[in-house]
Structure 1
Amino acid sequence: MDIKSWLHTVLQHYQDPERTFRDVDTVLQTYLSLKPKMDTYTSNDGHTQLLLCLHGTIPITYRSIPYNIPVAFWVPREYPNSSPIPYVKPTASMLIREGRHVDKSGLCYHQYRSSWSNDQKHNLLELVAILQQVFAQEPPVYTKPNAATPTPPAIGSPQFQESLLENRNSPTQQRQNMPLINASQPKQHNFQISLPSNNISYARSTCT
């Protein structure tokens, strides 16, 4: 069964299946990185319902660099009388950046949604396009910072000498009877220091 036939089948229980099909099909043809699926949506009050979900990524350009924002658009059965429910869906390596248009759960807000009506002026495609523009100005996700590796003391410093003394006096060191490093003639040591990055980066993902 192709996508169009599948959509016609799953939308039979929607309030306006023909209008919903047209709008969803238009979005899928415009944003090829979005895919449809039927999944269980859980509302804030804990109510669950099987709804059509368009999940994947939408492309943006932020500071001249392209990114893909992972999203999910839930289409309620009352569509187009009710607005689609858009979410940002960060991957395991991402965190949500709360702002005017996205809360900590990833739910997206915009005046276009709050003033939603069932006329042709409001539709799923325009909502996706509007959020795409918003995300290009205010990216809703960022990469989790890496934990910084502690910087080892410089060879020859008082801290380094103290660490040598502690090692020499430890039972393990005494059993091994290993010679101490001469601070006046230091050996070559390679230390890897990982610092957190300030660069925002985004990755492609789907909703779960």
Structure 2
Amino acid sequence: MSQYTQQFLNSVLSQGGPAALPYAEGMKWHIRQHLLHLIEAYASLQPKTAVFTHNDGRTVNLLQADGTVPMSYQGVTYNIPVIIWLMESYPQHAPLVFVNPTRDMIIKRPHPFVSPNGIVSIPYIHSWVFPSSNLVELARNLSHFFARDPPLYSQRKPSNPNPNPNPSPSPNSGYGSMNSAVGSNAARPAIPPRVYSPTPTPPPPYGSGRIMEDPAEVFKKNAIDKLVGSLNGDIREMRKGREGEVEGLFNAQAVLRKRDEELRKGLKEMQDEKEALEQQLQMVLTNSDVLEVWLRENEGKLGTADVTAVDVDQAFEPCDALSKQMLDCTASDLAVEDTIYALDKAAQEGAVPFDQYLRNVRLLAREQFFHRATASKVRAVQMQAQVANMASRAPPQYAFS
């Protein structure tokens, strides 16, 4: 199997856009395999692309297998030129097969399997079922049915002035000859027009079925094939190496991109932390200024009066009644907490009986609960007052209705 054939099929079946072949995407792999198996079994058939003209005038670019199918007739092998068209619905439906006679051949009339315009109709085509049917079996059936009744006859000029007007089998060619006398010239029946290929490629020579090639041309072709194969191998190796290098560069680029993102993220976090620390520093400086001002104002008072005469409860004055109530509840809560801690320590040391300890703790806990509940209610009222104050100071467009 030629490497060029595989490359050709891979290229034409992978094309997209307007140049794409009109086959279903899910069937292109089956089409490729069918053609490769056909060429492997029948090297005389080669895949091509050509324009097919439908009966309604539509033209479409399709794949075809063009070449010859061998057949055995009277002990001699002959090659029948055929064209196997893979229609748009292939391989769901059977291909369209034409006999492609050369200029010195005519189609036998009538023929049970070949119409006058060259269309082949054999039982295998009519019973085509995908995926069991394939091109290799089709070619075998063509060879079998052609051997039973050859579809082509060769035309020859008469060797005497009175040719026989009736066709008869020719023992030399295996197909017979058809001649008619019109003066001294032999008439050549016109080959029916073929609409399936606008530029048909001349098939190989027809006769004994053997194709003789010039040894020099064969050597030249083999040398070119070897050179091209070597170049293709080198190109594949180079491409493989370059793809590995590109893949490595892509991986390095991905690592660098990830590190760049991590650095950017870390830098942003450090900037945010710096801003937060600056805000905290500003707040500490502000509080320090407030404390310094308070100390300066009260240092003179401490210098003239007795320190013990200072009333701690009067050192701080709440700004309103709610704040005073919150201060009282918090102080009472902390005082009860300290008392319970002292009782607990006394109970552990045995200074207080256990039953008395439980009774006092229960009473203190009840009192502490009421202080905390009162503080919670005061805090809620303060929050509502703060919200109302903020709403009253908001601009008109943000004021609540």
Distance in 2 (alpha carbons) for counterparts of 1:10 and 1:129: 26
Structure 1 vs Structure 2 CA RMSD: 2.5
Matches of residues 185-200 of structure 1 in structure 2 within 5 Å? 198-199=169-170, 200=173
Q: 2:91 aligns to what SS in structure 1? A: coil
- Are 2:113 and 2:120, in contact at CA under 8 Å, matched by a contact in 1? yes
Q: 1:134 aligns to what SS in structure 2? A: helix
Q: CA deviation at 1:106?
A: 0.7
Aligned partner of 1:55 in structure 2 is: 66
Q: CA deviation at 1:149?
A: 3.8
Q: Which structure's relative contact order is higher, taking Cα pairs within 8 Å and 6+ residues apart?
A: 1
Distance in 1 (alpha carbons) for counterparts of 2:174 and 2:81: 12
Q: 2:153 aligns to what SS in structure 1? A: strand
Distance in 2 (alpha carbons) for counterparts of 1:141 and 1:44: 25
How many residue pairs end up in the alignment? 163
Distance in 1 (alpha carbons) for counterparts of 2:116 and 2:100: 11
TM-score, normalization by structure 2: 0.38
> 1:85 aligned to 2:87?
no
Aligned partner of 2:87 in structure 1 is: 76
1:84-107 alpha-carbon deviations (Å, 9 max, x no partner): 111110000000013111000110
Aligned partner of 2:130 in structure 1 is: 118
Higher helix fraction (1 or 2): 2
Q: CA deviation at 1:197?
A: 7.8
Deviates more, 1:73-82 or 1:84-93: 73-82
Q: CA deviation at 1:198?
A: 4.2
- Are 1:148 and 1:194, in contact at CA under 8 Å, matched by a contact in 2? no
Q: For structure 1, list consecutive stretches of 5 or more residues without a partner in the other structure.
A: 152-192
Q: For structure 2, list consecutive stretches of 5 or more residues without a partner in the other structure.
A: 15-20, 176-201, 205-401
Q: CA deviation at 1:67?
A: 0.8
Aligned partner of 2:148 in structure 1 is: 137
Aligned partner of 1:8 in structure 2 is: 10
Distance in 2 (alpha carbons) for counterparts of 1:45 and 1:114: 23
Tell me which of 45, 50, 57 is aligned to 2:56: 45
Distance in 2 (alpha carbons) for counterparts of 1:136 and 1:94: 17
Aligned residue identity for 2:130: N
- Are 1:86 and 1:108, in contact at CA under 8 Å, matched by a contact in 2? yes
Tell me which of 85, 100, 116 is aligned to 1:104: 116
Distance in 1 (alpha carbons) for counterparts of 2:114 and 2:55: 15
Distance in 1 (alpha carbons) for counterparts of 2:89 and 2:169: 43
TM-score, normalization by structure 1: 0.70
> 1:23 aligned to 2:20?
no
Q: Which has the larger radius of gyration?
A: 2
Distance in 2 (alpha carbons) for counterparts of 1:20 and 1:148: 49
Aligned residue identity for 2:11: T
Distance in 2 (alpha carbons) for counterparts of 1:25 and 1:7: 9
1:26-66 alpha-carbon deviations (Å, 9 max, x no partner): 00111011111111112333322111111111111101121
Distance in 2 (alpha carbons) for counterparts of 1:45 and 1:146: 39
The verdict on how the C-alpha distance between 1:114 and 1:198 changes in structure 2, with shifts beyond 3 A counting, is: closer
Q: What is the percent sequence identity of the aligned residues?
A: 33
